[in-house]
Structure 1
Amino acid sequence: MGMTLSEKILAKASGNKTVSPGDIVMAKIETAMAHDITGPLTVNTLKNEGIDKVWDNEKIVILFDHQIPADSITAAENHILMRKFVKEQNIKNFYDIREGVCHQVLPEKGHVLPGTVLVGADSHTCTHGAFGAFATGIGSTDMAAVFATGELWFKVPETLYFNITGELKPYVMSKDVILHIIGEVGFDGATYKAAQYGGETVKNMTIASRMTMSNMAIEMGAKTGIIEPDEKTINYVKTAMEKHGTTRPFEPLKADEDAEYEEVFEIEVNDLEPVFACPHAVDNVKQAREVAGRPIDQVFIGSCTNGRLEDLRAAIKVIEEHGGIADDIRVVVTPASREVMLAAIEEGIIQKFYKYGCVVTNPSCSACMGALYGILGPGEVGVSTSNRNFRGREGSLDSEVYLASPITAAACAVKGELIDPRDL
């Protein structure tokens, strides 16, 4: 019996010819990432264990993205701690407050390699599965073990295969596809499994759209959200490395034809409509027209899920075509990275957002973590392109968050209420 993509990557990383679901393997890590929230615990754990040297200062990535610029004394202290660690260990890949969200910056800088194991001390590290890597989030103490040894144990997961076919209609994005899938599977339907996406629809998606799909695998409990690498993937990775002067060998892997999946889901998207994930659960998914008409207070366009250039383009197009946003609506726009911000400025997108009264922030996690910008107050309702709508995720415990695609979110900003973008 052949192996799935995740099994082949874990077999290679652990030096095994074959692995099966349930096996425990010790895998070599190719890339390890920690940020300003999770990094300090990792560093302090290393110090407490008397470990004074990391395993590889070129394969570790340290990045600030959650509390940037520092929004408290504690945040500033954490930044100081991490900067000191970077200097002590001569960490080659350090991105201070200027670069943006880790899950966007890592692939942009050429740190995500197909066929390898990548770990990050952040749950949405599964985003990088879009590049054919076994990418997953781990805890800060596990990350300390990785920083020290370059290895980590894994239980080989079962794989759920999502065969996605059909052509997306106008106003429907990959965010609608993944929300639909999560609504079908449930918030825990893929717990500790690899969610693999394939089919003609995925092949036709841009890299950015694939990243949205992989990013939200964790919202159904998956260990990773992985996509077989193709020509688009290889071109992106090679271009990123060339652009930033890095060269690291990699071997793209694919599943065997006779790979065995725990379950195969057939997802046909020809008739898929825009959707919302309604409060207070990501799997509480309803068609946009089912909940249309609910007044809202704020729209957030950004995050590691939908803060890329194609997302900003899609959102501003809707706003521009309809003459701007509603008078009493706040719109917070946060590009996912400096690279995205600069490209959006060059295209005139940022100027247009400002023209129509939106607030554009520096690249960061922004409103997605409810601690930096765009906090919702008691009783307020927000529409967000991020990945979670748990109670209190974007502010008050008494606020409500509806997750949507950039197109749908922009339509809500125009109308001042929940709406199907086709009905503007």
Structure 2
Amino acid sequence: MKSPPDSSSLSPLSPRHVSDSLWHVPDFRALFTASALSQLGSNIGYVAVPLIAVSALDAGAGQVGLLAALSTAAFLLIGLPAGAWVDRMRHRRVLIAADLVRAALFASVPVAWWLGTLTLGQLYAVVLLNGCATVFFDVGSQSVLPHLVGQDDLVRANAALVSLHAVGNVAGRGAGGGLVQLLTAPLAVVATAVSYVGSALRLTGIPKTPAPTPHAERPPRLGAEIAEGLRHVLGNPELRALALGAALTNFGAQLVNTLLPVLFARELGLPAGVLGLYWAVGGVGAFLGARCARRLAGRFGLGRTLGFAGLCTAPAALLVPLVGGGPWLYPAGIGWLLVTFKVGCDNVLAVSLRQRLTPGPLLGRMNATFRFVLTGALAVGSAAAGVIGEFAGVRTALWAGGVCMALAFLPVLLSPVRNRRDLPGQDQRPPTNVMRSP
């Protein structure tokens, strides 16, 4: 039987729970269901927005690449200060405000389309501002999780949320493709706005998070707080390797995903539902990886699962660029399934390791630093996909992405992470004598 978590690892918000099930923790249930609605909306928008650009506004490869780059550029623009800001604010307020802003932005798209005023410029603005709100939502949700479930349940909680993300990829992207075919892409975006409103309402079920501990003297400057978060991540060889490996994966995946709407809609002449189904296969892989992560780490060790498993999935990444019509769709789909299986497994174990290696007052800045690096890689990958697709062809961009994904396991394999059997215990965590945010 699982021993109860040490009371020092739990937030005052979260009552001690003696059940082995996280579903008996009301705060976690509220965060989980809100995240489910948010993921559903995000994934419908992921399919619908580029298809609006291609089918309704006649966008080319370069314009689709710019659209994808702007959707993640916010993590480069405000990703680092966002972590310090989140550490200074009540997390629940941050999450609710982010959802409401995203709902309003996406609601503007079908309204403009109905009025006949929708332009690429508006789509660019919507995805950029939506990215800014998403920065705060993502950093806030990962920062509040340890307070809701306690340190001992982080792996199980992250496994549940990564599984949810994967299911969202399946349901959301599959539904997105179907809604685009049924209602047209602009109207499908209505579902995105409604989902974000539902998420905001569900987040009200989380008790008010406590205000950050006030600083005894003069509050530290924002730049000093950002630098502290950067030093924590980049100065730790394990965190640094996790960031580099995940960045390579994101960069390669974005080279592929950015141009898939162009490839499917124009070169292959396949309907939107097939594109949604292909992306949904990746969701299945991530879900399976998330569900198997704890079992694999228990059998082979956390380090081997994060590092050596990449040797098995690396060749699968080279199947992805073979995607095409007819029978070639299947080996590419299998390759994508295996790549995302590894991603799902990594997301559970690596995020849990990151959280256990980070003291509480630094969680927001650590998460923001990772988001800056990982989503920054998506932004750079989107821009690179547009340039490569425009001047060297869509297939060249896909092959470049496949190679990057195939090599992404090397930073972790060559780092001290490969020797780690388990997550660090409470007594192994870094000292907590760090600056507290006001």
TM-score by length of 2: 0.26
Larger proportion of helix: 2
* TM-score (norm: length of structure 1): 0.27
Which structure has greater strand proportion? 1
Larger relative contact order (C-alpha < 8 A, sep ≥ 6)?
Answer: 2
